[in-house]
Amino acid sequence: MSAGRRRTVLNVAEKPSVAKSVSGILSRSRGLRVRDGRSRYNRIFEFECSIGVPVHDPSNPSRPRYEYYSSHMLFTSVTGHLMELEFDDRFRKWHSCDPADLYQAPVRKYVPQDKLDIKRTLEEEARKCDCLVLWLDCDREGENIAFEVIEVCTGANPHLEIYRAHFSALTDRDILASVQKLLKPNQLDADAVDARQEIDLRIGASFTRFQTMLLRDAFVLDNALEDRNIVLSYGPCQFPTLGFIVERFWEIQAHEPEEFWTINCSHTSEDVTSTFNWARGHLFDYPCAVILYDMCVEEPTATVIKVSNQERRKYPPFPLSTVELQKRASRFFHMSSEHTMKVAEDLYQSGFISYPRTETDNFSPNMDLQAIVQEQQGHPSWGSYAQRLLDPTGGLWNNPGNGGHDDKAHPPIHPTKFSAGESRWSQDHNRLYELVVRHFLACVSKPAIGAETSVEIDIAGESFTATGRMIIAKNYLEVYRFESWGGSIIPNYALGQKFIPTSLTLDSSITRPPPLLSESDLLSCMDKAGIGTDATMHDHIKKLLDRFYATKDQNTRFSPTNLGQALVMGYDAMGYELWKPNLRANMERDMKAISAGTKRKSDFLQTCLEQTKSCFLDARINKAKLLETMDIFFERSNRYSESTTSDGEIVRTCNQCLESNMMLKRRPDGHFMVGCSRFPLCRNVIWLPGPIISASVTSQVCTMCIPGPVYKIQFNFRRLEIPPNYDANHLGCIGGCDNALKELTEICGTGPRIPSSSSARGRSSMDFSTSANRAGASRQPAYSSNNWPSQSPLAHSGHNDRNQTSGNDGAPVVCNSCGTLCILRTSNTAANRGRKFYSCQSQECNFFMWEDNIENNGTGRGASAHRGVAARRGGRGRGQRGGRSSTSAAGTFVTATGEPLSGGRFVKRTSSPSDSSAKEKRERQNKGCAVVVRQRYL
C-alpha cells in the first residue's frame, strides 16, 4: 500500500455500541453517514479518516515505523463471537455415539443461523475494501473473535490487508492514538482460546451426557429439577468452583465444637475503659484455667511492665483489577459478580470507565494520572478531595502502589469521563461508578497515619495486653468511605504503674466453624487456584446456580444443594479429584504458555485429552459409586424416558445385520441387555442376568471372540441375589466365551421373578452367540440343585459343604444380611417342639426360616429367605424405596415362635415406612457426609 493512496477500510467492532462510539470519535468534524446492513442491529457507519499502519523497518525490526493514509472508513460490528465450535452432525445428538468417542470426534467452527445476516454483511462490505481493521476487545477472547471475522472476510476477499487496533477505553485520547498506530493481530492468543473451547467442549459434552443419562431418570430430584429435560452439566471450571463450596460446607459439617476458657481483664480510668487480652489466648484444659485464674484472683494487683508508642500506616488499595472489582462490589453492595460485570460493561460502552476485563493492578509510568483526577474536580461528593490531591502544597498525592500483575493489554480499571450521575443510570450504575472513582482517588493518595499505644501488664505472673489507636491523618480514608480503621482509646499508663483491675473474670466459649463461602471468598479461591479468567469467573458461578448445584443467600454466601453434594461425593468416592482445581489450573497455565509461544496448541490438546479420556473411561466403569452417593440424597424413580432404553455403550459390531453396533442398554424395568442399535429393523439381542446393579463397557477387548473387537463389560451384581460361590464384581464378555456369565443367566434369569415351573426352568438357558429370534419376554427360572455349577471361573472356595446348611433339594440356605450359610436347628418351644428351622450362624443377624417352608418358597424373619439367594429377587435392595413385590413368595410369614404374621414380609420396624422415610433419608445423608468428612478432615 503506497503512501498518499486513498484506501477503503472495513472496520469491525465487537459490539454495535462500540462501533457507534468509535465512529463518532473518528468522524468528528468530518461528517458521518449511517446505513443499514443485513442485520438491523449491526448498522454501518461511513466517514473519512487517516490511519497509521506498521511498516517493517530492517534497521529496527522490534519497533516498526508507521505510514499514514487517507481512508474511506466503513465501520460495522459483530455481537460477540461470530462462530461456534461444535461436533460434526453425526455426533451432535446425545444417543448418536458413545460419549467416549467425543474425545476424537471431528469438530468444526461455523456461523450459527442467528448470525448469518452479520456474516453476509461482512462478506458484502469486504469485497469493496482494501484493508480490514479489527476493533475487538484487547484480550485473548477478543483476539479469537478477530480471527473469526478474518476468516469470513478473507473468504470473500483474500487480498485484504489486516490490522488490529489496541485501545483500553472509549475516550478520544485512546481511540485517536490507536488508529494512528495499528498493529497485526495475535494468532497465538487466538490459538489459546481455540484450545480452551475444544477442551471445554469435549470434556463438558462427554461428562454431561454420561451423568445426565445415568442419573436424570433414575432418581426423583428436587422440585426445582422436575423438568424432564434437565441437564446435569459438567464443566472443567464449573465443577472445581462447586468443589470450593462443597469443601467448605463439609468442613463446617465436620466441625466439632470444643469448649475453652479465657481470663478477661478490664480497667476503667478517667471514664475510659481498657480491655486487656490474655497473652495465652485461651485454654482447653478447664482445671489449668481455674488454677491460673485463682492465682490472679489471690494476687489481683496489675503492674505495667511495658508501654510502647508506634506510628502505624494503613495503605490504600492497589489499582483495580476485574476480580478485585467483583469482590469489592460483592462485599460493599452485595452485588453478584455476574451483575457487576454487566453494569461495568454498560459503563465502559458509555465511555465512563476503562475496559473492565483486566488482570493488571499497576499503572504504567506513562499514564497521565493527574489528568484523570482533574476531570473529577467538579463532583459534589468527592470533587473537593480531588482538588486537594492536585494541590502541590497539600502533600496528599502519592504514586500508586504496584500489585504485581500486568496482562500487557489493559491498564487497571479507572474513570474515563466525569459524571455526576446520568438520568438513565440505575442505583447499581451509580454505586459502581462511585466505587471506580473513589478507588482510583484512593490509589493516588497517601496512606492513613495513626498512633498506636500498646500496654502490657502482669497479674500474678500472667501477661495481658491492651492496644489503643488514634488516627492522626485519614488521608485516603477521607475519600474511600468503604473502609475504616477503627480502634479504641486507652488511658495513659506509666511504666511500673500498679492498679487493681475493675473486672477479672474466667469466661468460657466454644470453637466455631468457619462461615460459608461468600461470593468475595469464592472469587478469591478461584483467582488463587487459577480457575477461569477474570472475564469468565462470574459465568462459572452463575452456571452453578442455574444448574441448582448451589444456592446463594441474601448475604451472598453459598451452600451446596443435595445434587451438588452428591455429584462431588460420587466423583470423590471414585478416587478422582475432578472437583479439585488442580486439573483446570494446569490447563490455564498451558493456555497462557500457548499465548506466550512456549507451548504448541496441538501438543496441549493431545496430552490433555488423553489424560481426560482415561479419567472418563475409569469414571464410567466406577459409575456405581455415583449411583450410591445419589442414593444417599434422593429417592429412586420408576420413571424412565426414551433415553433410558435408547442410549447405550458400544460393545461390538452386530454379528447379524453387520451394519450397526450392539449397544449395552438398560431396559425400562431396570435390567440390562445388549441389543442392536438398528432395532426394530434388526432384533438381535442378548439378555443379561437380572441381579446386575450396574454395567459399563470397558476399553478391554476380548482376545478369544471373533469377529472383533468385542469389548468386555464390567458387571456389578447384587451380592444377595447370586450364589455365594460367584464374585459380585465380574469383568465379562458377551461374545460367547464367558461360561460364568452364561451360568449366572441360567441360574438367576434375566428379569423380575415369575412363578417358577419346570417349563420355565427348561427354557432358562441362554445362547450368547445370538438371540435375535427369541421372544422378548423375561425368563426367570427358580433355583434347583441342577442350577448350581460345581466349578466356574467366578467360583470361590469354601462354600461347597452343605452339611446342615442345605434345603430339601440340596440348595444351600443363605442369610441375606451377611451372606453366610445358615445352620439347621430344632425348636424346643411348646408350640413347635421338634420342628426344624434355619438361622444364621452370626448372632448379630435375626434371620429365621422353618425347614418345611422351603418347599413352599417360604421366607424367613427379618428378610426374604431363599434357596441360594434367588427368592429375594424383587425384594427391597439398596436405593429401591419400597421395593417390588415378589409374585413367587407364597409361603407363610412367621415370627420366631412360629406365629403367623399378617401382610407380606416381616420388617423389624416400629412405624410405617412412610412415617420414617424422612428420618431414614436424614440418616443416610448424615452417614454419607460423615464418611467423606472423616476421611478428609478428621
d(CA 113, CA 66): 40
Q: Residue 520 is which amino acid? A: S
Strands 161-164, 131-135: parallel, antiparallel or unpaired by DSSP? parallel
293, 348, 355, 549: the catalytic one is 355
C-alpha distance across the termini of the chain, in Å: 71
Please give the grid coordinates belonging to residue 189.
492468543
Q: Determine the distance from the C-alpha atom of residue 347 to the mean position of all C-alpha atoms in its chain, rounded to a whole number.
A: 30
Task: Collect all residues with Cβ–Cβ distance below 8 Å to 907 and sequence separation of at least 6.
Answer: 913
Alpha-carbon distance of 109 to 152, in angstroms, equals 11
Residue type (1 letter), 20: K
Eight-state DSSP code of residue 317: P
Q: What angle do CA 705, 711, 714 make, to 5 degrees?
A: 120
- Cis link prior to 356 (omega < 30° from 0)? no
- Residue 831, Cβ density class (10 Å: 0-12 exposed, 13-18 middle, ≥19 buried): exposed
**Which residues contact residue 248 at a Cβ distance below 8 angstroms, ignoring those fewer than 6 apart?**
514, 516, 517
Q: Is 461 left (phi over 0), alpha (psi -120 to 50) or beta?
A: left
CA distance linking residue 745 with residue 749, whole number of Å? 5
User: Residue 883: left (phi > 0), alpha (psi -120 to 50), or beta?
Assistant: left
Active site residue 293: no
Q: Which amino acid is at 375?
A: E
State the cell numbers at 486.
477503627
The span from the CA of 382 to the CA of 925, in Å, is 54
Residue given cell 458387571 in the structure block: 715
Strand pairing report for 498-499 and 503-510: unpaired
Record the cell numbers describing residue 433, joined without a space.
Answer: 461508578
Cβ-proximal residues to 775 (8 Å cutoff; 6+ apart), any chain: none
Distance CA 3, CA 6 (A): 9
Count other C-beta atoms under 10 Å from residue 899's C-beta: 10
Q: Give me the sign of the Cα torsion angle 191, 197, 200, 206.
A: negative
The rounded distance, in Å, linking the Cα atoms of 98 and 212 is: 14
How far are the Cα atoms of 87, 383, 401 from residue 441, in angstroms, in the given order?
50, 10, 12
CA distance 122 to 120: 5
Catalytic positions, please?
A: 355
